Amino acid sequence: MQSFLHLPIKNSDFGNILHITDTHLFANDNNQLLGVDSNASFLSVMDEIKSLKKQYDLIVATGDFVQDGSKEAYSLFAKQIQKLNTPCVWLAGNHDNYAYMQIIFKDYQLAENKVVLLGDNWLLILLNSQVVGQAYGYLSDLELAFLRKTLENYNDRYALVFLHHHAIESGCHWLDQHILKNSDQLKNIIQNYPKISGVGWGHIHQNQMHSWYGCKAFSTPSTCVQFKPASYEFNLSLEAPGWREIKLGKDGEIQTDVFRINSNQFQPDLSQNGY
């Protein structure tokens, strides 16, 4: 049975979620991903979030936490997230070591809750789309059955689903080779469960928003390097690191905005052709 978290909301009108993704951290500071010091860019994102002094009910972190596969990099993420004093749920990306995540995050009280009951009206479900050793994603039969069962168990609530991999083509040919390979199966569930109001992911290091069979489907920028939209081949963007804020209304409405750090000091090496 999947563990679940039941949280109250601080604002009587809406639930407020912070979505962070694709931090790509290193054990040692000053290491770079495509010319960007990803540890420093993550810390800048965290500093800016703290400076805004907003209250969140929940943090959702959707994978690719580390770039070097180290336990130390997972610890860096967990230590910083703890400073926000907000419950955090998480899932694995294609770059992640799932076993390390379970060990390290448990030490920092980042529990592995894949179901969150938020307030009286919302259900959040986190799915594991990781395929070990591959960049693309896939939802196993067990994961799809878990999604259906959870939706049935809480059919009085509006639902927001998170995974790492993009389920809709991004418009970047090179990225779309690493899409969720069985997105049609996820689509079929969305069509059959109209209370699914939204689906969110990371992976593509871009801000995108779609309308997908009656729900909002969106991607969130990375806290480090951004990928250039509408690029056939690998290409980097000069956009700053960012995060997403999601507001969940009582009637199933989702309002969401992307924010970026004010400084654009984290410029990638545009000569790079892959990673």
pLDDT at 107 over 90: yes
* pLDDT number for residue 192: 96
Closest-CA residue to 88 (of 66, 52, 121, 62): 62
Torsion of CA 145, 147, 150, 154, to 10 degrees: -130
DSSP state of 90: E
- Percent pLDDT > 90 in the chain is 91
Domains of the chain: 4-260 (3.60.21.10)
With beta carbons less than 8 A apart as the criterion, state whether 190 and 222 touch: no
DSSP state of 14: E
* pLDDT number for residue 1: 44
DSSP state of 25: B
* pLDDT number for residue 60: 98
Q: What band does 18 get if pLDDT is binned at 50, 70 and 90?
A: very high
* pLDDT number for residue 2: 57
Overall average pLDDT of the 16-24 stretch: 98
**Left if phi > 0, otherwise alpha if psi is -120 to 50, otherwise beta: which for 216?**
beta
Q: What band does 3 get if pLDDT is binned at 50, 70 and 90?
A: confident
Overall average pLDDT of the 261-275 stretch: 88
Overall average pLDDT of the 131-136 stretch: 96
Span 200-246, pLDDT tens digits: 999 999 999 999 999 999 999 999 999 999 999 999 999 999 999 99
- Percent pLDDT > 70 in the chain is 99
130 — phi, psi (to 5°)?
-70, 135
With beta carbons less than 8 A apart as the criterion, state whether 127 and 166 touch: no
- The per-residue pLDDT of the chain, averaged, comes to 95
Using alpha carbons, list the distances in angstroms from residue 238 to 229, 259, 264: 11, 15, 8
